């Protein structure tokens, strides 16, 4: 990743109303670029012109990355709010997790509204995140009925989803999925 490449991506993302195509390895490459800049900065005398330029470059990189991620996050949420899916291949793996979790939250919200319209009060304990685990599927899995009586799936290998802990543990034990660490 170079500054000019990042700048072009930033310009494109800022000017386009929809999500733009990013390289699949965009976030890891940016992280590597920032790491390289930090290492280079540690080796320089802070009073040199090169150190001052490197400091400005780092500030520019941080600003662009912050804006790219914020723009893309807002666009992902707007897509979810409209009940749509982003075009195929436009999300990075990291963003796909955000989209799937946001979609699950939107679905949960819609189910609460539907329940209210049917005279059923919402169950707050079903919406708590700590009762769920985020999984990455290792193999195709057909649709299942969760411990919360909701239908999940079907899933393809490499899909990421949030499921009740009880179901998640069984799927992991069977080797069909692995837990994803969520920070």
pLDDT digits (tens, 9 = 90+) for 148-177: 888 898 999 999 998 999 999 999 999 999
Question: What number of other Cβ atoms are within 10 A of residue 147's Cβ?
Answer: 15
pLDDT digits (tens, 9 = 90+) for 71-129: 998 998 888 888 888 888 888 888 888 888 777 777 777 778 888 888 878 765 544 44
Euclidean distance between CA atoms 172 and 13, whole angstroms: 37
Spell out the long-range contacts of 111-115 with Cβ–Cβ below 8 A and sequence spacing 24 or more: 111/150
Q: Which domains does the chain have, with CATH numbers?
A: 3-81 (1.20.58.2050), 128-183 (3.40.5.50)
> Residue 155: what are its φ and ψ, rounded to 5°?
-120, 145
SS3 9: helix
Global confidence as pTM: 0.59
**Mean pLDDT, the chain, integer:** 87
156 token code pair? 């393809």
Q: 83: which DSSP letter? A: T
SS3 151: strand
């Amino acid at each position: 990743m170079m500054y000019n490449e990042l700048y072009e991506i930033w310009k494109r993302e800022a000017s386009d109303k929809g999500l733009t195509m990013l390289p699949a390895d965009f976030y890891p490459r940016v992280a590597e670029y920032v790491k390289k800049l930090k290492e280079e900065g540690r080796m320089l005398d802070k009073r040199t012109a090169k150190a001052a330029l490197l400091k400005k470059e780092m500030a520019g990189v941080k600003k662009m990355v912050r804006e790219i991620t914020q723009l893309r996050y807002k666009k992902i949420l707007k897509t979810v709010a409209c009940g749509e899916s982003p075009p195929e291949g436009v999300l990075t793996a990291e963003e796909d997790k955000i989209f799937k979790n946001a979609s699950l939250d939107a679905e949960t919200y819609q189910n609460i509204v539907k329940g209210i319209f049917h005279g059923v009060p919402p169950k707050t304990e079903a919406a708590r995140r700590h009762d769920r685990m985020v999984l990455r599927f290792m193999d195709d899995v057909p649709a299942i009925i969760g411990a919360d009586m909701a239908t999940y799936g079907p899933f393809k290998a490499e899909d990421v989803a949030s499921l009740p802990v009880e179901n998640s543990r069984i799927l992991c034990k069977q080797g069909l999925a692995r837990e994803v660490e969520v920070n």
